[in-house]
Structure formats: structure tokens, C-alpha cells
Amino acid sequence: MLLTTDLPPEPFFSGAGLDRADALRSDQAALKALAVSADARELQWQDGLPVLSVDGRLSWSTPSSPELFLGIDGTSPRFTAIQPVVPDAPSAFGAMALLHPDDAPLFAAALSLSRWHGRHRFCAGCGQLTEVVRGGWSRRCADCSAEHFPRVDPVVIMLAEHEDRLLLGRQPHYPPGRYSALAGFVEVGETLEAAVARELHEEAGIRVRNVRYVASQPWPFPSSLMVGCFAQADDDALSIDTNELDDARWFTRREIAAAFAGQPDATFLPPPKAAIARTLLERWLAA
């Protein structure tokens, strides 16, 4: 019997994080009262990133600029200030290595939301300065009344399977030896299934069917939603788009298990722990 503890873990950044308390967002008076309550806390930032403690937890203080309402953690209302665009901000990938999984969902929400406000101060319709409304979960233009919402950019990331082998690829910026799932942005007017099929055909030249959703993951760099899928390839002949990929090839179940076990004869380096590609591979191995 497969015990719950035997199941591969959920993707990093998964989980509710905290009660987002949507019903309070439009109640200005309630938000003001929450911001000055004894339990209220505001996220601490440095150089465009949330400050992490030595054990990888988010750092909080008494609110001084509670511009965005993140939600309620137990009895504690949580806020953050809008972060200005920092051109030379350090990469958040370093912070991710330290970040505690329990604080990861809130880290993702706060980073995406705060940076979106920093980059979207003006109305896309008429160019006027917009104002923060709904506790920070949208901006409204006083001039043309348009309302603008924090964007979420869906990205499909997928493992194509053919006769118990999986297709993995290498992007040019990967460290030596790493292979991972192929991925691409969903385009307007496209289903997730169509995006999976299109990307696999464009990047690897294969045709697929039976696309199945597996899991998703917010990826706050700056605002992606990774949608993890499996797909069945019709055949294994590859035609690789070398503008996108250094290489792509099929890996056997044994090769993938060896890579995850860190065996000395492993033929590739698997994706890092925070990547949903790793979760997809773990699910496939466990199936």
C-alpha cells in the first residue's frame, strides 16, 4: 500500500500560505483598523527582496507602510509596502535556496504582487497614474475608470512519454549536465492542451496526444503560473529547435532513477528541488 508519506511532495511554493480574506479587501475601514491592530505585521524587504531569517523564514515588523493587504495568518493581519523597481536587484534564486517551504507561498504572493505594483503604476488604456484599490489586489484609473489586475502568466511545462522513456531538454543557461522538462508560455486563444502540443512540436518536433494535467506552481519571477502536464508521444523521432535548446533526448526510467539517487554513473543532473519539473519526474517515477 502506498502511504501518504510515500507520495512525492507537492511543488515548492504550493499551499494556501494564509487566509487571503478576499471579503475584507474592499472594506477600507476594516483594512485601516487591521493595519493598526496589535497583531498586525508588515513584511520586511531589502534590495527588492523579502528579508529572510537564518532559518529561511520571512521577517516581519510593526506596520509603517501597509499599502498591500496580504491576508490574515491566524489572528495576525499581514501587509507589505509596494516595492520600487530595483534595476540591480539580486537574483531571487539565491533566496529560494534558503527559503523555508512553509513561507514559500507567501513569499511568492508578496514578491509578485509588490513588484507588479512597482511596474504597473500607469493605466494601460489612457496613460494616467492609477490608484491602489481592493487592498492592493487591483489598481483603478480615476481618469477612464479601467481596473487593472495583477497579471498571471501561464506557462506549460511537460514531460512527453514514449515507451517508458521521457523527453528532457537542456536550455543553454543550465549548469553542465542538467536536463529538465520542456516548457513555454501559453498564448492567447490557446488551451493548455494545445500549448503543450505546440511547444513540444516546435522545440522537439514530436506530435503528442492524451495531455494530462498533473500539478501547478506559482513562479514569482515575475508572475508565472507553471502548469505541469504529461503527454503521450506518437513516436520518438526528434527535430530539435537549437534556438531554444542545446539538446533534447529520451531518458529511460533507469536513467532517471539513477540521476535522482545521485549515482556516480548517472547520465544527467536532474532539475533543482524548487522546480516543478522535479515534482513531475518524481510523480512519474512513483507511478
**Nearer of residues 131 and 187 to Zn ion, judged by Cβ:** 131
Q: Which spans in the chain are helix H?
A: 28-35, 92-98, 104-119, 192-204, 253-260, 276-286
Query: x/- binding map, residues 42-81, to Zn ion, per CB under 5 A?
Result: ----------------------------------------
**Nearer of residues 78 and 134 to Zn ion, judged by Cβ:** 134
Write down the least CB distance from residue 117 to Zn ion, Å. Answer: 16
Write down the least CB distance from residue 274 to Zn ion, Å. Answer: 38
Residues 94-123 that bind Zn ion (CB under 5 A): 123
Write down the least CB distance from residue 103 to Zn ion, Å. Answer: 36
The 3-state secondary structure of the chain reads: CCCHHHCCCCCCCCCCCCECCHHHCCCHHHHHHHHCCCCCEEECEECCEECECCCCCECEECCCCCCEEEEEECCEEEEECCCCCCCCCCCHHHHHHHCCHHHHHHHHHHHHHHHHHHHCCECCCCCCEEEEEHHHCEEEECCCCCEECCCCEEEEEEEEEECCEEEEEECCCCCCCECECEEEECCCCCCHHHHHHHHHHHHHCCCEEEEEEEEEEEECCCCEEEEEEEEEECCCCCCCCCCCCCEEEEEEHHHHHHHHCCCCCCCCECCCCCCHHHHHHHHHHHC
Query: x/- binding map, residues 151-170, to Zn ion, per CB under 5 A?
Result: --------------------
Query: x/- binding map, residues 121-150, to Zn ion, per CB under 5 A?
Result: --x-xx-x------------x-xx-x----
Write down the least CB distance from residue 144 to Zn ion, Å. Answer: 3
**Nearer of residues 123 and 182 to Zn ion, judged by Cβ:** 123
**Nearer of residues 63 and 150 to Zn ion, judged by Cβ:** 150
With CB under 5 A, what is the number of residues at the site for Zn ion?
8
**Nearer of residues 126 and 237 to Zn ion, judged by Cβ:** 126
Write down the least CB distance from residue 120 to Zn ion, Å. Answer: 12
Write down the least CB distance from residue 146 to Zn ion, Å. Answer: 5
**Nearer of residues 128 and 267 to Zn ion, judged by Cβ:** 128
**List of residues contacting Zn ion (CB under 5 A):** 123, 125-126, 128, 141, 143-144, 146
